[in-house]
Structure 1
Amino acid sequence: MRKRLLHGLVSVFLLSVVVACSSDAYPALMPEKNGEYSLLWVRDRNEGVTPFPPIFNEVNKVTMPSSLEETNKNYPELKLEKVPAFVIFDNRGVVFKTYDQDEAINFLEDILNDSK
């Protein structure tokens, strides 16, 4: 009986460690406070100047790495497949991921307007 209980407690502990570490994989990309959002915007540098959507100024942090390859090397758990890529975080982790700028803009408008 004690062996089963110990095994169960160890399993729960290991599962909680895995879950806790999953959002710690990219703390530099996440906002610090509850209710804040940040954006990872991976774009094709060969396309030239890309206009910066005004709604992107309303998040707490925008990270724009130099390439998809760099991003996947630094943050492989995000599993980004192509550019442009938009990943939105809250203080607990990823809340939205898309490859469509309009979808990212609409999502940000919805969550930022809801929080006002």
Structure 2
Amino acid sequence: MKGRLVIFLIITITFSLLVGCTADDGDEKLYSVLVVQNGDDKTDEMITEEIDVSSGKFHEIKFLTSLEEVKEQRPQVEIEQVPAVLIFETGGGEFKKLEFKTYEMEEAVAKLKELSN
């Protein structure tokens, strides 16, 4: 009986230590990227080259080809011109908080590189 109690205590302490030492991923931000482009430009290639999908920081990358398509699919999103890149903090779900918006592809690429690291 005493041996079982000792084993139980050792297992409990070991489990407690393992749980206490695991990294807390609750602070890790996830992002969704919305790219609105002209049908004939290469914005999609520029953006996808810069996103490190293996980083696990990007929940979704969506490409739309017109302002009308944006109004249809994401009426809450306000953009004035194309191309546009919007980055939302998502927490793994739907678009929540607009983190970054630009109409300049160089700015978008720089921000995506920053977020990928």
TM (normalized to structure 2)? 0.57
How many Å separate the matches in 1 of 2:29 and 2:42? 33
Q: Give 1:55's aligned amino acid.
A: E
Q: Give 1:100's aligned amino acid.
A: E
Of the three residues 14, 35, 42, the one matched with 1:41 is 35
User: How many Å apart are 1:57 and its aligned residue?
Assistant: 4.3
* Contact 1:39 1:63 (8 Å CA) reproduced: yes
How many Å separate the matches in 2 of 1:36 and 1:49? 22
Structure 1 runs not aligned, ≥5 long: 1-32
* Cα distance per residue 1:64-101 (max 9 Å; x no partner): 12321110233232211111010001123210111111
User: How many Å apart are 1:34 and its aligned residue?
Assistant: 4.8
TM (normalized to structure 1)? 0.58
How many Å separate the matches in 2 of 1:47 and 1:108? 19
* Contact 2:50 2:109 (8 Å CA) reproduced: yes
* Contact 1:65 1:71 (8 Å CA) reproduced: yes
Identical counterparts, % of pairs? 28
User: How many Å apart are 1:52 and its aligned residue?
Assistant: 3.6
| Count of matched residue pairs | 81
Larger strand proportion, structure 1 or 2? 2
Structure 2 runs not aligned, ≥5 long: 1-26, 91-95
Q: Give 2:50's aligned amino acid.
A: I
For residue 109 of structure 1, what is the aligned residue in structure 2? 113
2:66 corresponds to 1:62: no
